[in-house]
Amino acid sequence: MRVLAIGCHPDDLEIGCGGTLAKYAKLGNDVFMCHVANGNMGHKVIMPDELAEKRTAEAESAGKVLGAREVINIDIPDLTVSSDNIETVKKVIAVIRYVKPDVIITHSPEDYMRDHLETGKIVFDASFSSSVPHFGNQDDFHDRIVPLYYMDTLAGVGFLPEEYVDVTGTIEKKLEAVNRHETQVKWMKDHDGIDFLDFVKTVSKFRGLQCGVDYAEGFRLCRTWPRQTVNRLLP
């Protein structure tokens, strides 16, 4: 199976579904990770151009930890992600047509900031448009509209999972992948007093308590035609 996870910033997928992606890879699936924004505004000291380069490298390193086949950067500046920007939508369509996934994971409509919400909207639109033969390159369209899963919000606020993935066996990979985003983890620890690794682990523990395992990640299926399925696509 081919799995495509599309997040907004370079560390969002590791936080929201890193354990699940690692489990997919461990089971022999082809995992592709894509971030729409380049993370260039995520620091008070490091300037945007330098930070974008650092965060791209961190994302690639984290992807290797999780076993991703490829990490793709759409390279949109932070705080400018917009579902109304057709050029951005076309870039995401191109990624979907390139990967030709069997399932897509992205941000929930309840997430906490505009960039995340807009990324979710873009993925919803692009996953449909990628299947339309006469939109763009007719020889390169995806032949179907695949199921779309929404991953957990930051800290799980406002998100009630419908499905869970047991990530007890991959929680350490998830935390190591998050830790590869040094510009974020170190900054939050030094300047905001937040132990972000503990933060992420606590959310996974909480989701585990809800479904009877040590650590879990929660998801909801996008329930629009024709994305629903009777098949279990989560690992």
Is-contact 136 93, C-beta < 8 A? yes
- Domain boundaries in the chain? 2-221
Tens-digit pLDDT profile for residues 49-96: 999 999 999 999 999 999 999 999 999 999 999 999 999 999 999 999
pLDDT bracket for residue 138 (50, 70, 90): low
Its pTM stands at 0.96
Q: Which residues contact 83 (CB under 8 A, 6 or more apart)?
A: 89, 118, 121, 122, 125
CA distance 144 to 2: 13
The mean pLDDT of 171-179, rounded to a whole number, is 98
Question: What digits encode the pLDDT tens for the residues 108-126?
Answer: 999 999 999 999 999 999 9
CATH number, domain 2-221: 3.40.50.10320
Question: In this predicted structure, what is the pLDDT of residue 134?
Answer: 87
What confidence tier does 175 reach under pLDDT thresholds 50, 70, 90?
A: very high
Mean pLDDT of the chain: 96
- Comparing CA positions, the residue from 124, 168, 125 lying closest to residue 149 is 124
Per-residue tokens: 104:
């897509």
Q: Which helix (H) or strand (E) holds 74?
A: strand 70-76
